[in-house]
Amino acid sequence: MQDFNDKVAVITGGASGVGRSLAFALGRRGAKVAVGDVDAAAMEQVAADLAAENIEAIVERCDVTDVDSLNALADAAAEKLGGLDLVFANAGIGAGEQGAMWEYSEKDWQWAFDVNVWGVVNSIRAFMPRLVASGKPAHFVVTGSGNGAYIVLPDAPIYTATKAAVHAITENLHYQAQAAQLPVKVSALFPGPHVVDTGLFNSGRVRPEALKKDGVEGNESGINSVDDMKKMCEQFGIELQTTHPDEVAEMALKGLEQDAFWLLETTEDTDAKIRARADMILNRTTPVPASVG
C-alpha cells in the first residue's frame, strides 16, 4: 500500500503510545483515522490534537475484549469516514507482574489474555470479514512484541505468554490470507528496536473494575513508567536505551509501503539474541535467560 491518501485506517489502543503515533503518521499522509480506546482522558486529548492538525478523524470508545464494541467501531468508520482500508490491532496492556509466576494473581493473567490475546482474536473477527468482502487491497496489522515472538525475557511471563500467542495468531492469519489469495495483506508490527517510551507500564489506569486486585493479591513490579525502568536498570549499571513511538510509526508505514510482513527494526544485539535462541533449539542446549539491555 504505497499511497495512504484518502485511505481509512482503524487503530485500536489508538489514543496513546504507538497507536497515537500511527494516527498522526497516517493522518499526515492524508489518511482518515478512526481511533478506538478505553482511556477517556487520552481519547479527549488525541481528538483535540488531531483536530488541531486538521486530520479527518473520529475517536470512539472501544473495548477490544468485547467483539460488539469492535463491530461498533467498524460501523462508525464505515459510516463517518466512508470505508475501511487498514486495521491496526494495536491495543495491549502490561499486567505489572514480578517475582515467581506461581504467586501471580489470576486477575493479572485474565486481564492480560483478555486484552492482548482475545483483543486480537476479536479484532480479526470484527474486521477481517469486512476487509475481505470489500474486494479491494487492504492491510491488517497486529502489534506484537519481540518478547514472546522471538526471545523470552523471564521478568514478565504473563506479557511474554500473551505476545507469543499473538504472534502465532498473526503468522497463521498471514498464511491463511495467502492461501486464499485474499486482497488483504497481514503484517506483524514489533515496536522497537529499544524499549518503547509508552504508557504500557502504567496500564493499571485502564484496568477494569472486575479485575482490580486487593492490596495483598499477587505481586507488583513497582515500575509504572519507562523512567522507573531506567532507574531500576541504573542500579545494575545498565543504561536503558529507548525508542519514541513516532519512530515506530514511521518504521511501520515504510514497511507497509513495501507490503512487508515483518515490521521490525533490530539492533546487532537483538539479532545475536535471535540467533542464539535458534541455535539453542537446534543444538538442544539448556536455555539461559536473555537480558533486557
**Does the pLDDT at position 21 exceed 90?**
yes
Nearest to 269 by CA among 293, 285, 241, 244: 293
DSSP string, 154-212: TT-HHHHHHHHHHHHHHHHHHHHHHHTT-SEEEEEEE--SSEE-SSGGGGGGG--GGG-
Tell me how far apart the alpha carbons of residues 134 and 140 are, in angstroms, rounded to a whole number. Answer: 13
Structure confidence at residue 5 (pLDDT): 97
Q: Mean pLDDT highest for which of 151-165, 167-181, 275-289? A: 167-181
Distance of alpha carbon 12 from the chain centroid = 9
Ramachandran angles phi, psi of 274, nearest 5°: -65, -45
The residues, any chain, with a CB within 8 Å of residue 141's CB and separated by 6 or more, are: 86, 87, 88, 89, 90, 186, 187, 188, 189, 252, 256, 263
Residue 48 has pLDDT above 70, yes or no: yes
Which of 241 and 145 is assigned the larger pLDDT? 145
Assess whether pLDDT exceeds 80 at residue 97. yes
Q: What is the pLDDT of residues 250-284, one digit of tens each?
A: 999 999 999 999 999 999 999 999 999 999 999 99
As annotated, the active-site residues are 159
Phi/psi of residue 47, nearest 5 degrees: -60, -45
Check residue 164 and give its pLDDT.
98
pLDDT at 199: 85
Give the up-direction half-sphere exposure of residue 38: CA atoms within 13 A in the CB hemisphere: 20
Share of the chain above pLDDT 70, in %: 93
pLDDT of res. 131: 98
Cβ(34)–Cβ(81) under 8 Å?
Answer: yes
* pLDDT of res. 229: 67
Quickly list DSSP for 197-244: -SSGGGGGGG--GGG---TTSS------SHHHHHHHHHHTT----EE-
SS3 28: coil
- The reported pLDDT for the residue numbered 218 is 60
Q: What is the pLDDT of residue 220?
A: 67
In contact, 105 and 217? CB cutoff 8 Å: yes
For 55, 63, 229, 260, the CA distances from 10, given in Å and listed in that order, are 14, 13, 31, 19
Domain borders along the chain are: 8-283
Local structure of residue 81 (DSSP, 8 states): I
Whether the pLDDT of residue 213 is over 90: the answer is no
Q: Cβ distance 145 to 120 under 8 Å?
A: no
Q: Concatenated DSSP letters for 4-18? A: -TT-EEEEETTTSHH
Instruction: Give phi and psi for 15, each to the nearest 5.
Output: -90, -10
**Cβ–Cβ < 8 Å for 246, 21:** yes
Q: Give me the CATH code for the 8-283 domain, please.
A: 3.40.50.720
Rounded Cα–Cα distance for residues 229 and 47 (Å): 29
Cα–Cα distances in Å, from 178 out to 19, 114, 135, 182, 240? Answer: 26, 28, 14, 6, 39
